[in-house]
Amino acid sequence: MPKPTTVRDNRAEAEFELDVDGHRAVAAYQLEGRTIVFTHTLVPPEIEGRGVGSKLIRGALDAARDRGLTVVPQCPFVRDYIARHPEYRDLLA
């Protein structure tokens, strides 16, 4: 099975993206000053169940940390990910 590529921040579309096997998973966001609001996450059915969503959100949260942003997880997937990974709770707005 091919490995997922790197998570990219497509700022023009306000989405973090991860391409896997010809499919694109996205985590949409809105930037509000120094806060990033994650609005929804989409992982195509063809690549579900392979940890793609977790890799995507981990990359997005790491990017937010690198940029000094606080996080508002409106998206249930992002909210659940942070709940399961306490190392990201310090990012919460």
Distance of CA 57 to the CA centre of its chain: 3
Structure tokens at 57: 């959100």
pTM of this structure: 0.93
Q: 41-88, pLDDT tens digit by residue?
A: 999 999 999 999 999 999 999 999 999 999 999 999 999 999 999 999
- At 6-29, the pLDDT tens digits run 999 999 999 999 999 999 999 999
pLDDT at residue 3 above 60?
A: no
Residue 80 is which amino acid? D
Amino acid at 30: Q
